[in-house]
Every structure is written in structure tokens, then in C-alpha cells.
Structure 1
């Protein structure tokens, strides 16, 4: 808001500065052509009418100063008047085009938000006996969705979740993410074994993807004291025990990313990790651990895991996301999704 107010007053400040400079310089130096800066700056933040008004003020100041300097109707002053009128007209056109672009951008954002609500539905704050927190940051400057995906559902087989990362960016990545999520939402209710869910996802992507495209993903099923994981080439989740100890749930035999199953005939393998009372587990995409600061250092996720131990899991995850953005010092270069599960102590 402060920067916007500065931009709105900048044209008048500039023109006032030009007039004062011209008065102090005397008759030998004339700075009136610089009054064209007023409408030029006005087009950056103002509308067409405001830009025209600023141009009219600049033209009035030019005439008054010409009378004061005894330059009215001289060639130099006539040229300045024509310059102000021309720059004002061009600035009005630029302002109109800018406003049209802003309206188009607002419409695109509305479409992106609608797509996000359909594609990446808000996760429940509770699933079974678990507390759930979510953070999603898109690397696209003007969008809220990207190639990262997540879902958590409560099924007759228990709480099941998916987190994944589509190779590539842009609309093609979003389309693939939609395909994976649709297949998971069906399979999560139909299949009794998490490995079978992975097989369904692989079969679905085999019909959709081409070439060497792939999706890294984890399918998880949470039980009373443990969870079953199926890892398809995705970063292993970070497990935070009730006593504060950290470990990564590395699979003993990592599988290939989804979409590359034809390269390996072996069946999808599951592995189990303890997940008891008071434990937390953070699922994330590689946009988190591959985020770099100005010195090229990766984000130290394990060193920042203490941020996740707040009573409210969402508050802890929000603090971690803020620390991640602070680490990079600017926009992320890749999408970053984080899903935190907490089993409260009884």
C-alpha cells in the first residue's frame, strides 16, 4: 500500500521539482521539457483519466512558466507543449493497456484458484485420529498450482495419502497431476493393499504419459501404531518421534518413479515404519530440500525440524514454510508441497 501511494504522488512531486529547478536556474536554462515525466509516471499506477489529468496539470504548469520566463509562443515552448501532449496521449494508451492486462491477470488468477479447488482440494484438519497440516507453494509467479500434488482420504481400509511431484512444469505438469490424483482417488477406495494402488497409478500413467516422463510419489496407509509406505523414487519423509529424535523413512528397496514401470518388471514393494502416539511425519517434495540460498546452500530441513514441534501442526508447518522462503531470499525456483501428520498423545 505504501509503495502504491508513493507511485500515485510521484508525478506531482516530479513536476513540482521540475518547476522549482526551472525557477532556481534562471532564464538561461529551461527544464520545462522534463514536465513530460509527470504523465509518463502517472501511467504506471493511474488510470486513463488520472493520466490525462496529470498531463493537463503539466501543460498548465508549462504555460505558466513560459509566461513567467517570457517564452510563450516561442519555438522552444511550442515544442515543449507538443511533447507534453504527445507523451500524455501515449501514456494514456499505455495506462489503458496496463489496466486491460491487470483485468486479464485477475481473471487468470480466478481460473487458477478454481482449478486449485478442483485439483488440489483442501485437506481435512483431522483424518481418523490424526491431525493434518498442509503447505503448498507454487514456483509459478502468477499461479497457485503447479506440478506437485497431494491428497489424503479416509477409506474403509484406513487413512491413505498421496504426495507426488510431476516431472516438468506448466500446464502439461498440471494435467499429469490431475490424472494421477484422479486415479488415486478411485484406487484408494477400491484397492485393499497400498501396493495395488501403486499398480493402478502406474497402469493409468502408462496410458497417459509418453517418452521418458515420470512422476515421483509416495503412497501411504496409516495404521494404529505404524504406517505402510510405497515409495516411487520420491524423497523419503521425515519422521519426528515423540521424544524429538529424527529419522528418515528410507525404503529398503526404492522403486522407480511412476511412468517408468516398464523399465523394471519387479512388483511394487511396500515397507512399514513405526508411527505411534506423539509422533509426527513430514511428507514433502524436492522443492523443499533443493531450495538454495544466495550462497548455493540447500535448505537444511532436518536442522529446522524443531519448528514442527508446536502444539498446532499447521502453525509449525507455516513457520517452516516462512523459514524456507527466508532461506531462499525470494521466490522458490520449484514447487514445494509439505504434508504434516501428527498423532496426538493420548
Structure 2
């Protein structure tokens, strides 16, 4: 095909209007009309003041800029609107049941202080009654024999393990509670196997093995560093208390009887609605008197006053620990019941061996 047949019109000559759908004003280098693409020109232009900043400035005509300047504006997508923070008064206070999730929040003691209340709340008369009942079971079991004493002792160790975890704000913590309780059972079994004469080695040895076991298990945990540290400390302390309660099984039976009765009297006297100092003094005097009375029934005699007062003082320490950090009713019914007896176990063992 010749150039005339390929290009029927001379160079630079425009085609008839009926054969050209769009007629621009600027021919290209090949003689063909460059069809303007308004949407492409609009995308290449930006508005600056009163003029258009483009690569070329076409002559003003009716077809040069078919879109108004408002259509030439660069489109910017709307950013997502971030809602303002909620009203602090409407935000939940976050004082649900504590867990091991590691979420940072105020402690119950801080809330109590912010509300003008004391973070120290004594368990009250009902937990004291349960402690007295458990103390009498311990005294009766000790009077019968070591295996009879083992039944209330196992109950004491279970309540101690559960109450300590809840007192530290870690709940649910079934694995930690089970591990601490298992430590107490292991100490009981070892003590029964080696006898009372080897009680210190049995208790300390079991505690050492259990601390090592807890460390190994915590190293395998996938929790955060802070949560692992909290879990480690709570588990070690709970296991130590559960194993420490084995001291009742290691002590002389007469000393267990005197110490358990003194604890029962002390916690009941402390729960009476009396001023703080008066209540403490009354509880110690009552424990000493109960020690004298219970010592008169066995070989301890009047020396039971010392054992009773010491056991009563340890019981008050246990009550104080169970009263701290604005505890819940569950803490009162577990730690508030068990800690007085658990804290008195070392005193019952040591003073009992010295007196009997």
C-alpha cells in the first residue's frame, strides 16, 4: 500500500469533521490530531493559586479544559475518625475477680483507700467459728493418734493452699493450688515414713524439692516475665505454708492439743466487737488461759500458758495476713480460717518439744 493510500489526506491537513469523533487543536508530529483526554489532563494537573501548573500550557479554548477547576482537585481519602475517650465515670473500675492474665489495674487496697475505707478488714465471727471447729478436730485427732490427726491436717493444707492464692489476687490458679497442696501431702507422707524424730529433715527436704520443682515448671511457662514472677512467688509461698502445716503432725500430741485449743480461743476472742488494742490483749490472755487449762489435762501443766500465748500470737498474725488488701469473702472463708492454725504450727512444734 502506497503512502497516499495509507494517508489519503496531505500532511498536516485535518480530516473532515464527519470522520473524526473528536477534534483537538494541537497536531502531533505525524500529522494526526492528538485527542485530548480530559481525565488524564486533570490527573496531571494541580491547582496553584490562579494558574494551572502542567507540563505544557494549551491555548485557551472551549475544548482545552472541559472540566471546571473544582473537578481538578486532588482527591484525598477521608481518615478514619477516632472516637474520643469515654467518660472516666462510665468506664468499669476493673475490680472483677483477679486472675493470672497479668492485666495492670489498681489493687483492692488502693480502691479502698481512694474511697476512704480501711484496706484491713478482719474475717469476722463466722470464719473464727470455722477455725475453732477445725482446731478442735486437730486437738481430737492428736489425742487419738497421728493417723487420726492426718484427716483434719489434710483439710487444713488444702484450705491454706487455696486461700493463699486468692489472697494474692491470683484466681483461678488450679495448677498452683494443686501443686502447693501436693507439697503438703508429700511432706505428710515423708514424715510418716521417717518418723517424728526426723521431722526437720523431712519437712525441709520436701520443701527444697518442691521449690526446685516449682522453678522448673515456671521456666516452662509461656507467660510474661511479670506474670511468671508473680506466679512463682505465690506458688512457692503457698507450698511453703502447706508444708509448714505438717509441723502439727511432727509435734508432740500434747502440744498439738494445747496449741489447737489456744488458737480456737484466740480467734474467737479477736472476733468480738471490741477496740483493736483491747481485742488483741484479750485474745492473748484468753489463749494463755486456754493453754493453762488444756495443759492441766496432760503432762504440760502450767507451762501450757507459754505455749498457748505463743500459739495465740501466731494465730493473730495469720488473721492479720488474711485481713490485708481488702479481701473478699472467699479469702475470709479460706485464708481467714486456715492461716491462724498454719502460722501456729512451728511454735507448737518447737515449744512443745521444749516443754514435753
Same fold (TM > 0.5): no
Select the structure of larger CA radius of gyration: 2
Specify the TM-score bucket, using the shorter chain as the normaliser.
under 0.3
> What is the TM-score of this pair, normalised by structure 2?
0.19
Question: Which fold has the larger relative contact order, with Cα–Cα distance below 8 Å and residues 6 or more apart in sequence?
Answer: 2
Whichever structure has more strand as a proportion of its residues is 1
